[in-house]
Amino acid sequence: MKVNDVILKTVVKMIVFIILTLGMYLFFAGHNAPGGGFIGGLVLGSAIVLLYLTYDIETVHRGMPFDFKKVAALGVLLATGTAIASLFFDVPFLTHIDGYFNIPFLGEKHLSTVTIFEAGVALTVVGTLVTIILNISEDE
Amino acid sequence: MIVAFSILLPFIAAACIPFIYRRFKNIHLGWFVLVVPALLFTVLATYIPRIANGETFSKTFEWIPSFGINITTYLDGLSIIFSLLITGVGSLVILYSIFYLSTKESLHHFYCYLLLFMGAMLGVVLSDNLMVLYVFWELTSVSSFLLIAFWHHRKASRAGARKAMLITVSGGVAMLAGFLMLYVVSGTFSIREIIANLDIVQSSNLFIPAMCLVLLGAFTKSAQFPFHIWLPDAMEAPTPVSAYLHSATMVKAGIYLVARMTPIFGGHEVWFWAVSGVGIVTLFWGSFNAVRQFDLKALLAYSTISQLGLIMSLFGLGSAALHLGYSTQSVIYTQATFAALFHLINHSTFKGALFMMVGIVDHEVGTRDIRRLGGLMSLMPFTFTIAVIGSFSMAGLPPFNGFLSKEMFFMATVKITQLDIFSLDSVGLLFPIVAWIASVFTFIYCVIIVMRTFFGKIQPDRLEKPPHEAPIGMLIPPYILIGLVVGIFMFPNILGHYILRPAMASIYPTFPSTDEMTPHISAWHGYINTELIMTIGVVIVGVFLYRTLKKWRPMYQIFPQKYSFNSIYERVISSSEYRSDQVTKRYMNGNLTYYFIYIYVFFVVVLAGYMVYADVFSWDPSKDSVIEPYELILVFVMIFATLAILFAKQRITIVLLNGVLGYSVAFFFVVFRAPDLALTQLVVESITTALFLLSFKFLPKLTKEKVSKTFKFTKITISIAVGATVTFIGLAVMNYDEFEPISAYFEDSYNLAGGKNIVNTILGDFRAFDTMLEVVVLFIAGLGVYTLIKLKAKKGDADVESK
């Protein structure tokens, strides 16, 4: 039986970008407002899962040729890497620094190394989430 | 900084191995790996002159400063000896392994483990912080486990690896407890700071327990009696590994620890007797058992045990000097320590060469059994030379370096009998006697190695391959080592002055550096002294006993195998395996219902039990805020959903109703102004529901299980108890004031961490360590799910064991 999912496919095409934007927003909002690496990662991951739900695995994989196990591994490396990197600046393990920087076109912005750490968290969450869901749902 | 980098370099190299391996398939991976230890050896060797001048190098990286755990690297006379051994012997072993292991083996695993081990070992000897030392210490156990089990398709390899792991790790855990006691007493994890505050440590009640626990770690690692049983089984590893781990480095970690801890514990009676006593017993037992072995590698394993015992006992004897304090009389006893360090280096040279020699024989002939070997002298003359020089040095004969350190060992045992502390006057005479008997056995097995392998008649039909000389690459490393064996004999005082003397200063920090502490080593004292007479006696009796070996060998049958420590180990392991299997089968019955029952019963008993015990039941609704109508509506929705789940007939209904529950909870978070929690709950709920729906078609149809009335009743009781416990906790928390709230600290999050969102500053800054490890756990769990689903054993693959 052929499933008629034109509406789903059309809607998802637009909605995925809204969800991805929301995910990115949540990720960057994390420092001062609700959000952060974990939730941002979950939302991004759910957008990808939605894509996989709507289209088949091959189609999505052509658009996003990532091995999500490696994405997760990269995330773990980033998170532990920032922790270890702090040792080389003569500060205790996992110390973060932050400050205000003047960036062209954007004005004065608050930047912190926590963002890198949180990026690691987000990538791990996305990678693990997609890996697990893909493998559980995959046909034999 | 360079010292810290030299610990890091092997780890970095290990991480690069997979990439190099994939790119350069044609070149043996060992050539790339060889660069690492060779480079480190060169760099570290440049420190020798400055260390000989009494300099030390130290660098601290803060890790967890609030607990005093910092990565402090410390390079002094003692640690440079060990780091030079690790990198020097490491280079030679890697060079040797290039010719020993064919490219058909999984080389990338092998060299990865080897580099991990090298880094861990350097970490052990170059760390000043006890906790960091412990971390590296256990890492050596883990990496050696992987190396011993390198040929993991063989059952003996796996068993040997597990044995080594179990024994060394349990010793390591004991050592950790000892380290923690030292921390409790002294308030610092830094070895140098502990030495600086010695009187506090020594007057403490925990001094003796801490000492015993630390010694347990050292003895298990260095294969001292009765923990020696793991070393012969560890010989299942490839020969380069045996040469490296089990003669030159890992087993010497225990020796290093004893040497490092001597300034703290030395001078106490218990330390003296434990270290020297265990050492001398090990010396005897190892050499005694080596004679009965037929496998050349097993023979060398027992000989290593015995030699380690010798070094250990010398450190024990040398510690007596600390008891007496500094004086011209007591300095004589430091010569035992000097001999220990000297023999340590000598042992690495000749034992490394001997292991490589056995590897060559095994590689070229196909067997290591001395009953099948013989007459190889004319066919393998170069290998024969290695065997002769290595064995004679081990037996303590001139003109090889083993002679010098053996003489010094005899001298130390003789001198110690003149000391009348620690009730030595009564049993002190045992030291030289046992040492002499052990040396006779040492002499016998050294002769066995040479005679049985290279002399006599060749038996070509019992060999697996036609014997011929080894390739040149396999000969170069052992030749460098035997070159050192002869070289050190010729010029021992260069070694003594530049390398051993600074190490003596590290072991006796309170003693002024005098020339008496670094005696002039001479091969010939110009007259016949006691030591020389003892050596001559060893040779005469040894030759006699070797000749009559056939007559007294049955003596070994008197000690039945049944009562050896090995069989005790086997019995303990097999019975504990059987018992735990029985116990596990009883509660892990595969029924999820039972698992939930265990978890919830435990939950109710512990938490409700604590609440009854602490008497925290109190409910005071007067301070509560008013319950709004929409909150009541939410509660009713949730109650309805929960009850509906109980009576639902289809799985999809249950999943959706569960979603209703989850979203309602998220609504509550919104109402109670916890946006972070609400967000997380919403997303997690959506994803788990999606996951459920995705895997839906794989699940079987929901069937009503038929259970007895009583079991149903039990389940209902437990459910109600769990619900009641959670409710009571919720109510009691409102009035619980056992601990100070810590929220005030986090309120300052913007100043402390630069973020306005408290929840995220806690996750990313204040408790980032938790987050980091959670990420790792998540990743590992994901990989676990992946492997469970993906890597199902294909048909026909199931029986790996029988291959």
Q: For residue A74, name the pLDDT band (cuts at 50, 70, 90).
A: very high
Between B46 and B792, residue with greater pLDDT? B46
> Does residue B796 carry a pLDDT above 60?
no
The H or E element that residue B377 is part of is none
Question: Which residues of chain A does B676 touch, with a Cβ-Cβ cutoff of 8 Å?
Answer: 34-36, 39
- Please judge whether A31 and B62 are an interchain contact, meaning their C-beta atoms are less than 8 angstroms apart: no
Query: In this structure, which long-range contacts are made by residues B163-170, counting pairs with CB atoms below 8 Å and at least 24 apart in sequence?
Result: B163/B229, B163/B230, B163/B233, B163/B234, B163/B569, B164/B230, B164/B231, B164/B233, B164/B234, B165/B141, B166/B230, B166/B573, B167/B220, B167/B227, B167/B229, B167/B230, B168/B141, B168/B144, B168/B220, B168/B221, B168/B230, B169/B138, B169/B141, B170/B220
Question: Which residues of chain B does A116 touch, with a Cβ-Cβ cutoff of 8 Å?
Answer: none
> Does residue A1 carry a pLDDT above 70?
no
> Does residue B552 carry a pLDDT above 80?
no
- CA atoms B142, B276, B520, B436: torsion sign: negative
- Please judge whether B775 and A75 are an interchain contact, meaning their C-beta atoms are less than 8 angstroms apart: yes
Question: Which residues of chain B does A137 touch, with a Cβ-Cβ cutoff of 8 Å?
Answer: 691, 694-695
**Within its chain, how far is the Cα of B351 from the centroid?**
21
Question: Which residues of chain B does A120 touch, with a Cβ-Cβ cutoff of 8 Å?
Answer: 775
Q: Helices then strands (H, E): number in chain B?
A: 37, 2
Q: Which of A51, A94, A112, A115 to mutate to test the interface with B (most CBs of B within 10 A)?
A: A94
Question: Which residues of chain A does B760 touch, with a Cβ-Cβ cutoff of 8 Å?
Answer: 30-31, 35-36, 118
- Please judge whether A46 and B754 are an interchain contact, meaning their C-beta atoms are less than 8 angstroms apart: no
- Find out whether the peptide bond into B226 is cis, omega within 30 degrees of 0: yes
| pLDDT per residue as tens digits for the range B34-74 | 999 999 999 999 998 888 888 888 888 888 888 888 888 99
Q: Which of A115, A116, A128 to mutate to test the interface with B (most CBs of B within 10 A)?
A: A128
> For every residue of B43-88, which 3-state class applies, written as one string?
HHHCCHHHHHCCCCEEEEEEEEHHHCEEEEEEECHHHHHHHHHHHH
Report how far residue B247's alpha carbon sits from residue B258's, in angstroms, rounded to the nearest whole number: 17
Strands B69-75 and B57-64: antiparallel
Angstrom distances, CA of residue B119 to CA of B82, B108, B244, B250, B349: 13, 16, 13, 12, 21
Q: For residue B721, name the pLDDT band (cuts at 50, 70, 90).
A: very high
Question: Which residues of chain A does B783 touch, with a Cβ-Cβ cutoff of 8 Å?
Answer: 69
Question: Which residues of chain A does B784 touch, with a Cβ-Cβ cutoff of 8 Å?
Answer: none
Our CA-based measurement puts residue B62 at a distance from the nearest CA of chain A, in whole angstroms, of 4
Contact B502, B517 (CB under 8 A): no
Q: Tokens standing for B350?
A: 């000749």
Report how far residue B219's alpha carbon sits from residue B197's, in angstroms, rounded to the nearest whole number: 26
- CA atoms B322, B402, B53, B57: torsion sign: negative
> Does residue B570 carry a pLDDT above 60?
yes
- Please judge whether B775 and A42 are an interchain contact, meaning their C-beta atoms are less than 8 angstroms apart: no
Mean pLDDT of B597-625: 84
Amino acid letter for position B168: T
Amino acid letter for position B537: G
Between B519 and B803, residue with greater pLDDT? B519
Closest-approach residue (CA) in chain B for A112:
B754
Q: For residue A2, name the pLDDT band (cuts at 50, 70, 90).
A: low
Q: For residue B752, name the pLDDT band (cuts at 50, 70, 90).
A: confident
Q: For residue B559, name the pLDDT band (cuts at 50, 70, 90).
A: low
> Does residue B574 carry a pLDDT above 80?
yes
- Please judge whether A36 and B690 are an interchain contact, meaning their C-beta atoms are less than 8 angstroms apart: no
Give the list of residues 6+ apart from residue B56 with CB closer than 8 angstroms, or none.
B74, B75, B76
Q: With an 8 Å Cβ cutoff, is B689 touching chain A? A: no
Q: Choose among B676, B686, B781: nearest Cβ to A46.
A: B686
> Does residue B560 carry a pLDDT above 70?
no
- Please judge whether A33 and B781 are an interchain contact, meaning their C-beta atoms are less than 8 angstroms apart: no
Contact B190, B128 (CB under 8 A): yes
Question: Which residues of chain B does A37 touch, with a Cβ-Cβ cutoff of 8 Å?
Answer: 763-764
Report how far residue B281's alpha carbon sits from residue B292's, in angstroms, rounded to the nearest whole number: 17
Helices (H), B491-529: 492-495, 501-507
| pLDDT per residue as tens digits for the range B67-83 | 888 888 999 889 999 99
Produce one character per residue of B63-92: b if its CB has 16 or more CB atoms within 10 Å, e if not. beeeebbbbbbbbbbbbbbbbbbbbbbbbb
Question: Which residues of chain A does B761 touch, with a Cβ-Cβ cutoff of 8 Å?
Answer: 31
- Please judge whether A136 and B757 are an interchain contact, meaning their C-beta atoms are less than 8 angstroms apart: no
Question: Which residues of chain A does B689 touch, with a Cβ-Cβ cutoff of 8 Å?
Answer: none
- Please judge whether B757 and A36 are an interchain contact, meaning their C-beta atoms are less than 8 angstroms apart: yes
| pLDDT per residue as tens digits for the range B120-145 | 999 999 999 999 999 999 999 999 99
Our CA-based measurement puts residue A31 at a distance from the nearest CA of chain B, in whole angstroms, of 5
Q: Helices then strands (H, E): number in chain A?
A: 5, 2
Question: Which residues of chain B does A112 touch, with a Cβ-Cβ cutoff of 8 Å?
Answer: 754-755
| pLDDT per residue as tens digits for the range B475-498 | 899 999 999 999 888 888 888 888
Q: Choose among B65, B687, B789: nearest Cβ to A42.
A: B687
- Please judge whether B690 and A79 are an interchain contact, meaning their C-beta atoms are less than 8 angstroms apart: no
Interface of B with A in 705-764 (CB under 8 A): 753-757, 759-761, 763-764
Mean pLDDT of B589-599: 87
Q: With an 8 Å Cβ cutoff, is B791 touching chain A? A: no
ipTM higher than threshold 0.90:
yes
Closest-approach residue (CA) in chain A for B677:
A34
- Please judge whether A35 and B781 are an interchain contact, meaning their C-beta atoms are less than 8 angstroms apart: no
| pLDDT per residue as tens digits for the range B403-418 | 888 888 888 888 887 7
Between B309 and A29, residue with greater pLDDT? B309
Report how far residue B669's alpha carbon sits from residue B663's, in angstroms, rounded to the nearest whole number: 10
> Within 10 Å of residue B486's Cβ, how many Cβ atoms?
14
Contact B161, B148 (CB under 8 A): yes
Q: Choose among B691, B755, B771: nearest Cβ to A136.
A: B691
Q: Where does residue B39 rank: exposed (0-12), middle (13-18), buried (19+ CB within 10 A)? A: middle
Closest CA to B27 of B91, B103, B114: B103
What DSSP string runs through B594-646? HHHHHHHHHHIIIIIHHHHHHT-----GGGSPPPPHHHHHHHHHHHHHHHHHH
Q: Which of A27, A87, A123, A132 to mutate to test the interface with B (most CBs of B within 10 A)?
A: A132
Share of chain B above pLDDT 70, in %: 97
Contact B617, B734 (CB under 8 A): no
The mean pLDDT value of chain B amounts to 85
Adjacent-strand bridge partners of A100? A110
Q: For residue B563, name the pLDDT band (cuts at 50, 70, 90).
A: low
Q: With an 8 Å Cβ cutoff, is B65 touching chain A? A: yes
Our CA-based measurement puts residue B273 at a distance from the nearest CA of chain A, in whole angstroms, of 42
**Residue B753: per-residue pLDDT:** 75
**Residue B605: per-residue pLDDT:** 94
**Residue B801: per-residue pLDDT:** 45
- Please judge whether A131 and B786 are an interchain contact, meaning their C-beta atoms are less than 8 angstroms apart: yes
| pLDDT per residue as tens digits for the range A83-127 | 888 877 777 787 877 777 777 777 777 777 888 888 999 999 999
Q: Tokens standing for B540?
A: 């005469």
Between B421 and A117, residue with greater pLDDT? A117
- Please judge whether A34 and B759 are an interchain contact, meaning their C-beta atoms are less than 8 angstroms apart: yes
Between A1 and B99, residue with greater pLDDT? B99
| pLDDT per residue as tens digits for the range B501-543 | 888 888 888 887 666 677 777 777 767 778 888 888 888 888 8
> Does residue A60 carry a pLDDT above 80?
yes
Q: Which of A71, A114, A134 to mutate to test the interface with B (most CBs of B within 10 A)?
A: A114
- Find out whether the peptide bond into B399 is cis, omega within 30 degrees of 0: yes
Closest-approach residue (CA) in chain B for A48:
B687
**Residue B561: per-residue pLDDT:** 61
Q: With an 8 Å Cβ cutoff, is B783 touching chain A? A: yes
**Residue B305: per-residue pLDDT:** 92
Q: For residue B455, name the pLDDT band (cuts at 50, 70, 90).
A: confident
